Structures are given as structure tokens and as C-alpha cells.
Chain A
Amino acid sequence: MNSKAHVKTTINGEEMEFLCEPRQSLLEVLRDDLGLTGTKEGCNDGNCGACSVIIDNVLVNACLVFAVEIQGCRVFTIEGLASPEGLHPLQQKFLENASLQCGICTPGFLVAAKALLDHNPDPTEHEVRHWLAGNLCRCTGYDKIVRAVLKAAEVGRETTAPAGSSN
């Protein structure tokens, strides 16, 4: 149980290596060992979405993935959403629409919403609600989150520039 595994992976475009115990979740390694605490823990049992990350273009809960499983994968976390040029339209719209109160759910919602817009750049309100139903927010009542995602989708469709260039 104590011997550590060596994992080679790519996180937010950067190649990385780390040692971990086989029983450690990806969430635990991201937060406690790699210092990437932007991915939040809300339940550690797959029911809140606060730990949403994207692995090889698939939206997953990092608490349900063992860290050893990401060997050779490309992992995307909230820390990868903004670019040096500025915020991603989703981040900008969340701020403009006051879509966060306490903000603990926000990274998870942003990553999940990015995964949605990557798949479906023109979602309906129902599609947004359906996709984000795996992410819990106890503060906002979801209204302003859903609006922000719809508005960010509009921005995304209007600009041909890559994500993160403007709002």
C-alpha cells in the first residue's frame, strides 16, 4: 500500500511527473501534492461536481479518478482556463452576471461549462441546465449561472478568436 507509483501526464498543457500512492484520487494529488487547489472538494464521492476536470476531452469528477489512471492523459483544470491575455469569456460572464456568491462551486461550474461549450457551442437553456445538473450550487439558485453560460456561448459564437482573447 505504501509504495508509490510514478505518473507522467500533461496538466493544462504542461508535462508533469509525480509520485503517488495507488489509493490517492486525482483530486487529492491535484490539491495536496501539486498545489492546484482551484479544483475544489465538496463531497469526495462524486455527487457535487466541485472537482470537475476534463481528461482527454471528457468531463469527469476528479474525486472519482485515481491519480494513477491519468498516466499519459491530458488533464484540464480551472487553472488552465484563463490565458496570459485575460479571462475566458465564461469567467468574464460569471463576473459580469454575479454568477457566484461564495464561489466554492465556481471552478467546477466553469470547467463543466467549458466542456459543454466545447461540445455544443449553441446550447439552449434546457441543454445548459441538463449538462450542469451534476454541479451543485447552494448559494445562487442557478439563475445567474445559467444566464452567464448562455451569454458566454454567444460571445464564443461571435468571435473566431480562440478562447480567452476577449469578452
Chain B
Amino acid sequence: MSNASKNGNGNGKYKVIGTRPIRHDGVDKVTGRAAYGIDTHLGGMLYGQILRSPHPYARIRGIDTSKAKALKGVRAVITAADLPPSEADEVLNLVEGSFRLKDLRSNILADEKVFYQGHSVAAVAATNLHIAEEALQLIEVDYEILPHVDDVVAAMRDDAPLLHEDLTTKEFGEDTGKNSNIASHIQFKLGDLEKGFAESDIIVEEEFETASVHQGYIESHNATAEWKTDGQLTVWTSTQGAFGVQKQTAAILGLPVSKVRVVPMEIGGGFGGKIPVYLAPQAAILSKKCGHPVKIVMTRADVFRSTGPTPSSYVKVKLGADNSGKLLAAQATIAFAAGAFPGSPVGAGAVCVLSCYAIPNGLVDGYDVVLNRPRSAAYRAPGSTQVNLAVETLMDEIAVKLGMDPIELRLLNAAEEGTRRVDGAVYPVVGCRETLEQTKVHEHYLAPLSGPHQGRGVATGFWMNAGLKSTVTANVNEDGTVNLMEGSTDIGGSRASIAMQFAEVLGLPAEAVNPMVGDTASVGYTELTGGSRVTFATGWAAYEAAQEVKKILIGKAALYWETTEDEVRFEEGDFVHSTDPEKRLTFKELAGHLVDLGGPVVGTGAVDPNSGVGGSFTTCIADVEVDPETGKIKILRFTMIQDAGTAIHPSYVEGQMQGGSVQGIGWALNEEYFYNEGRMQNASFLDYRIPTCLDVPMIETVIVEVPHPDHPFGVRGVGEASIAPPPAAIANAIYDAVGIRLHELPMRPDRVLAACLAKEEAEAATANG
């Protein structure tokens, strides 16, 4: 019943790392005291609301806000006219990509056209929420409705309605000058594809489609802004990156970053969806206009219609192997629906598609396509899940055709140190093989199934993980504790994992370190919480800060003993006099003397680890039962095996794996943006159904620890890779159960049932014929 974690660092290498202390922010979060973005309340605060387009595509002929402005209690109404004008080719470079400033501004307040249902058109600030809502209904927008396109394949056709007159296709980085909805076409090539397929004994090829899904965080987007008369703007918000909000907000408003301070509040989930700004600029302009702080919280329907989602996709993959199962060639074509503006993670999808295997010959084409849907955003291992379904389903087909065990087939081809990926990168030490080995011997994999219509499937997935910039500042208190200011917003317990790495260096208990998340004015530049990078990179910064504290404290001990620094050793958490071992000070004792030893001890770690992060591999096992009457799929048992590198706090590592698994299960079985005439039909948690606890079993986990060779503690990053393989594992389990292959997500009951009936009919026809 308990999680079969293999971790535990039983080798005794570490004192704090690998233990499971209670997280530092825990009590505040179980008592309701923690202040999230939605909880922000300032004196004199007004409430903002956003008017959004009801049409998927339309030209704005005019906006009349006079009636709204006249409503009692309304303090300000704004439109795109209140934003600075954009130059056509101004680009903002962010961690997550480069974007045209014009597009970012349009997404905040549409100027000439609305590009999707839910596109922000105007904003209102009023003395209460209800008045603001009433005011929205009084704004008159004159729309000229345009023919829209909201399917990725249709949008790529030459005769499709064009979204942006000035968007031309970039082919392999070069501007083709051709006006089209295809924003870019990228390509990766390795070896000799034709030769690889010619030498193959077995070739499988299929097309796959996946629906758009939403990140589904439970806290809505929110921003509270106060623009003071001295020109200083402060924004309180739930975000995955305060510095990213600062940069985006400043650029959109045409301000220098130093004029914008962003305070990251506690954040109620993100999964990639809380990287872009959606509300801060509107709240800021409203605040400037009325001289009060303004708070905007999105409605849940707006969260669905106007934020997120992950791109829908079309993916075609062809694999060639010899009779032993060795992969010889692979080709993939990937088209991602970026939404209204360019910038889908198709590049990441193109890297991930063949990433789990050593394949000598490969070709991958990726297309970033705009269409009349909300601008897509990152979602946990962005781009990886869509492409994983295709490759891992085909791997299963090969295993079936060759009569091989699916894990053996994957082991035969597993990526390892030195494997060159199709994009040219060569793997450092990675744990793909190790996750497969663990799967092969797992009790779940070996256990028999227990009834009819049951099946088991496996799949392997990958996410590349990021490094990026992080800062940590440590202040030693005279009672022997340490305040740790870090720049990474904590979405899932990362305060603990960062504090633990700091504590490990200095031999402190985790509880002696008090981690806090700073705002953009109180901590050094730190990039977003995403890319599975926080425990890796911010943890690394904590390690550096601890090293500096140690160094300074050695100096202080030398001062205390009136000797030189080389006479002081740091040993098992104590400072020791080398030649007079009687002299020994604990960290706490030395901290107590600091007032007399020349004052404050502050350590800083500022890092930018960008090379050879190495990535994380997962393999999962899914057991399903198919109801042949209804097509409903029940998950009977589910196990996720992941290489996390060193697991700092195993409970939260398991938590990431379990959370990613269940998101993957939702994506596989029932989550989808359901559109009709360009309008979303299921913009609520009732109709866009994420898994409830009744839909899933316990999620078993195996943490595999293949330490990262460069990180001081071997951390690899664990947040994302677990979402990628569940859909394919479930698809393979469905095949195992009832012999049907589904090539479309979600695998809804109606699709399963239709495929089951089609199979029965085909079998009956064969029997009769």
C-alpha cells in the first residue's frame, strides 16, 4: 500500500537530504493563513473586470465606453488606446521564448482585431465587483465578424482565413516572406533517413491528434496593482516568476523595469500557465487612472477561454526497426496550434519526440501554427505529452509485431550517456535505462491481471529540464538560525527542498533554516519556477550561499580564537581549532558570538547553470479495465518510475510524480477543449472535467536516483516528465485489453465504444466472408 520508493539515501551520504521534514510554509497553508494572490487586500482598493470578445475572429470597428463610465461606482474604463503604440518588429526576449511586443499588447487589450473568443477588449474599475460586472454590459463594441479557423490542419491550408496580415513563415529560421498561419517551420536531421528505412525489416506509421487541454490550476489568475503618484508601480500577483511579470508588465506599459516592483504572493498552482501576464497591465493602467489600487481576479470561465491552454496537435510518426527490435530510422511531423499568436512549444516537442531512444537516422519537422484560439501557454513538459503518445504507441505496435516484451524493446533502444539526439545534443549521464530496469522487476509489472477486458500498458517519457538563473541570500541570526531569501516562487514545496540543501552544507537541521520568497526589489534576479529547475538551480544557489556563509564563519571563528583562518576547520557541522581540538564551536554557539565579531554574516549564491542539465526520464505502468457496454476506461493500477537524480525531499518528489501522472490520466481520458463555431462549450470545472479523487487509484511511485554529475548534490529536477507517458501507457493498456488502437486524445467513452464496435463488425465480416 505504501509508496514503493526506492529512495532514502540509505547510504548515509547525507544528513538532511533524503529526509522528510515538514515544509516550512506548511502550518500557514493548513490553517488558511497563507496569503495567495486572490487574498490580496489593500486599503482603498477597487475591483476590476475585463470585457472579452464573444467572437472567435472579428475586426473592432469601434468601442463606446461612455455608458459604462457614467455608471455610479465606476472609476475608470480602459481600452487598447490606453496602451503605448507598438512598433511592428519590436521583440521581447523572455526565458520561454521571443515574442512580438505587439502581440503581447494585443493579448492584454485587443486593438484592431480580436483573435479568439475571450480576447480582452476593455477593462473597468469600480467600487465593487458587481458594479464592475454591470459596467461591462454597458460597453458597446462594434464588431465586424470575420470567418475564423480553429483547427490546426485547416489553419495550415493556403485557403485558410489568415490571422495576421504581417505574419510570414520562418523556414529554418529564415523569413520566407510568405504570408500564412504557419509562423515557423523547424527541422532536425540526423544520419541518412532513407538508408535507415531501407534497412528496416519492420516499419510502422500512424497519424495522431491530441485536443487542447488546460493546466487547470485551482487558483484563478489575479493581479492587484498600485500605481503611485511618484510613478512607481507595484504588482501583487500569483505567478511562476516575479521577474518575468516585471519584465512583461514593464515592456507592455513602456516602462523601465526599475519602475515596476512585483510581489509574488502564494500561488495556487501554475504548471506553466502562470508564466504569461494576463491582468497586471490592465490593473496597472486602471490604478493610474483612478489613483487607487485595483484588483482583478479572473472568472473561471475566463480562465478557460482566455488563458492556458496547451496546444492541440497533429503528429505523424514513422518508425523503422530490424527484426531484433533495434530502431534504425524515425521520422516525425508535428504541428502545434499556438493559438492566436506564434509561440507554441513545437521546438520542445521536436526535441522530445525521439528523445528516449538511440536512433541513428532521423528527421523531425515541426510547425508552429496560429489560429483562432487563445494564445497557448506552457503546460508541464510542454510539447512532450503530445508527441509521446505517437512514438510510444508505435513502440507498442513494434513490440506486438515482433512478439517482444515492451520493456525489453525499450531497453534495447534506450538512450544513454553519449547518445546523440535528433536535434544534435549528446546526452550526459541520464537515467532512461535505469527507469526501465526498475520497471522490469517491479511487482506491478509482474503481477497478473485479474479479469476480463483488462489490460496493461507501459510507456517511457522525457523532459529536458532547465537550469537558468537563480539567486539566494542567507542571513545568519544570532540564535543560530538562518533566514534564506530566495527568488523562486514556491508552487509545490520548493522552499523546503532549497532550505534542505542549504542546511546540508552547514550541518544544520532543516528547521533551522527559514526560507522566504522575495519580491523583485528584495532578492537577486531569478528566473521562473518552471522547467523542473527550482530544486536544481535555486538549490544550487543555496549551496553556494551556504559555502559563502561557511567561509565567513571560519573567519569569525578565527577571530574568536585570535588565530588565522587556516587554523580553523569545519567538521560535522562544528568549527574546530586545528591545533587545539579542545576548541570547538557549534554553528549556534558561533552565531551567538557574532555581535562581538564584526557584525552580520550574509552569504549569497547567484548561479546560471546552463550546460548539460541532462533531463529526466520516466516509465509508467497502467492497468485499465474497459467497459465494453459504455466504452468507459477505469484505471485499476498505476505506477510511475522516474529518475529524479538525488531526491532532496522524497515526499515532494513523489508528489510531483503523482500529480503529473494524474494530469496525464486526465489528458488521456477526458480533458479537452470542446469547440463549436469557434466558441468553447465547456468553460467550467463541471464540463471541463479534471480527474477527481474518485477517478484514480493510489499512484505508486519509484524514485530512481541517477545523480546529476555536475550538481553539488546530484539533483536532476523532477517536476514535469511524469505527465508525458500516461496517455500512451493507457492507450497501450486499452489495446492489451480489447485489441483496439486509438490515435486521438482524449480516449473518451464514445471513441472507445466506436472503436470496439468497429472491431466487432470487422471480425464478424471476416467470419462471414
Contacts and interface: CB of A to CB of B under 8 A. Distances in A.
Given A42-B220, A44-B299, A143-B698, 19 more contacts: A28-B129, A100-B30, A101-B493, A102-B217, A102-B267, A102-B268, A103-B30, A104-B219, A104-B266, A106-B30, A107-B30, A133-B693, A133-B694, A136-B692, A138-B216, A139-B492, A139-B655, A144-B655, A147-B698
B563 to A, nearest CB: 44
Contacts of B88: none
Contact of B27 (A24, A87, A105): A87
Contacts of B34: 103
B218 A138 contact: yes
A103 B130 contact: no
B143 interface: no
A65 interface: no
A45 B303 CA distance: 13
Interface stretch (A66-74, A76-84, A153-161): A76-84
A47 B216 contact: no
A105 B32 CA distance: 10
| Chain B binding surface, main DSSP class | loop
Interface residues of B, number: 61
Given A138-B690, A141-B662, A81 B271 contact: no
A128 B693 CA distance: 9
A95 interface: yes
A41 B685 CA distance: 13
Interface string B687-707: 000111110101100000000
Given A47-B684, A87-B27, A87-B30, A141 B696 contact: yes
A82 B31 contact: yes
Interface of A: 21, 23-24, 28, 31-32, 35-48, 50, 77-79, 81-82, 87, 91, 94-98, 100-107, 110, 128-130, 132-147
A77 B684 contact: no
A94 B129 CA distance: 34
B406 interface: no
11 contacts: A32-B41, A45-B300, A98-B651, A100-B30, A101-B659, A103-B30, A103-B34, A129-B693, A135-B692, A138-B659, A146-B698
A146 B651 CA distance: 15
B23 A136 contact: no
Contacts, number: 187
Contacts of A46: 686
Contacts of B216: 138
B144 interface: no
A157 to B, nearest CB: 18
A143 B658 contact: yes
Contacts of B655: 98, 101, 139-141, 144
Contacts of A47: 300, 684-686
A24 B128 CA distance: 11
B38 interface: yes
Nearest to B1: A147
A163 B662 CA distance: 32
B757 interface: no
B249 interface: no
A43 to B, nearest CB: 4
Contacts of A100: 26, 29-30
B219 A35 contact: no
A144 B269 contact: no
A138 B30 contact: no
B663 interface: yes
A38 B20 contact: no
